């Protein structure tokens, strides 16, 4: 599946992206680097970062509900904010508030759903999310079902009908354009954090429609028998992470990593990861409060990184 979708535009009509003007020709063949941007893809900040492939895309994690929290995170200079409906304090209604708040700041709203159920994928994408992240994947067959739930026919089985999704892109597509362009523009991401998924990672990475393999190091370590304790990764866990990155890169996909500090994010950026979470709202708040309170008491600043 090409990263840049061909726009549904009449022959000869110009299409202006944020940086280039493309002229569409009937039946023309565009090299991967010069295919025209669809209207939806122009508004997908993270997908565009992947297309440009200039540097790792840095984002942050939202676990606290509230539109103002979403905007604070989105205005921090990131490409994306992950709205965490798995472990975060964010229900369906809070997700529907967070996604438009993030999008209004010119940043890609992403949603980690609680489980790999099709209706959860539909709710997240119908809210206008630019991509979904599915936790605790265990098999290639599950990955295929996720792709089917995330794609409109004929590639999948997603239903059309949300009146909200189009408004989360700038320029905003019509419902027809959303239907025609969503399969190519939205990101389908899965977390490799179980022994079963690690064993099948090469097969999973090769599945059409899977865009990102995202590593959750804590659950991955737990599930392969080498948990992260006091922030220390065992060599066996590091080897598993290397294997996932290698399989993803070989398949031409993108690999993501959940880091717990800016320093760790830089380390994995230098290793070649394409998408890295550099901070989590709750731990940032905990760490910042600790620094301020200790300074007020004349005490040494606590170790950064919250409770991780």
**Residues with catalytic roles:** 87
> Cα separation of 121 and 162, whole Å?
13
Please enumerate in sequence order all residues whose Cβ is within 8 A of that of 282, keeping only pairs 6 or more positions apart, or say none. Answer: 63, 64, 306
Q: Which of 247, 275, 46 is nearest to 140 (CA)?
A: 247
Please enumerate in sequence order all residues whose Cβ is within 8 A of that of 239, keeping only pairs 6 or more positions apart, or say none. Answer: none
**CA-CA distances (angstroms) from residue 84 to 88, 112, 132, 216, 261?**
5, 5, 10, 13, 18
Paired residues of 14 in beta bridges: 23
Tell me the angle at which helices 140-150 and 118-126 cross, rounded to the nearest 10 degrees: 40
Tokens of 129: 């999310």
> Cα separation of 228 and 237, whole Å?
9
């Amino acid at each position: 599946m090409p990263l840049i979708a061909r726009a549904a535009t009449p022959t000869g009509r110009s299409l202006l992206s944020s940086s280039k003007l493309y002229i569409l020709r009937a039946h023309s063949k565009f090299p991967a680097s010069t295919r025209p941007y669809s209207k939806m893809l122009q508004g997908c900040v993270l997908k565009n970062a992947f297309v440009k492939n200039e540097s790792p895309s840095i984002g942050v994690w939202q676990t606290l509900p509230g539109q103002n929290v979403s905007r604070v995170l989105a205005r921090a200079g990131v490409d994306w904010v992950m709205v965490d409906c798995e472990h975060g304090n964010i229900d369906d209604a809070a997700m529907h508030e967070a996604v438009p708040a993030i999008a209004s700041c010119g940043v890609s709203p992403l949603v980690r759903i609680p489980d790999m159920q099709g209706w959860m994928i539909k709710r997240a994408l119908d809210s206008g999310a630019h991509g979904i992240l599915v936790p605790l994947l265990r098999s290639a067959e599950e990955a295929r079902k996720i792709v089917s739930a995330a794609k409109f026919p004929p590639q999948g089985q997603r239903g059309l009908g949300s009146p909200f999704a189009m408004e989360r892109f700038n320029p905003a597509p019509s419902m027809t354009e959303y239907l025609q362009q969503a399969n190519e523009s939205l990101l389908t991401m899965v977390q490799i954090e179980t022994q079963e998924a690690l064993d099948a990672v090469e097969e999973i990475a090769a599945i059409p429609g899977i865009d990102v393999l995202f590593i959750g190091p804590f659950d991955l370590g737990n599930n392969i028998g080498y948990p992260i304790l006091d922030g220390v990764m065992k060599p066996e866990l590091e080897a598993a992470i290397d294997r996932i990155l290698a399989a993803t890169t070989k398949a031409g996909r993108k690999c993501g990593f959940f880091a717990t500090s800016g320093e760790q994010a830089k380390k994995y950026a230098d290793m070649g990861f394409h998408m890295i979470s550099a901070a989590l709202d709750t731990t940032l708040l905990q760490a910042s409060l600790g620094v301020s309170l200790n300074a007020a008491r004349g005490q040494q600043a606590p170790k950064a990184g919250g409770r991780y």
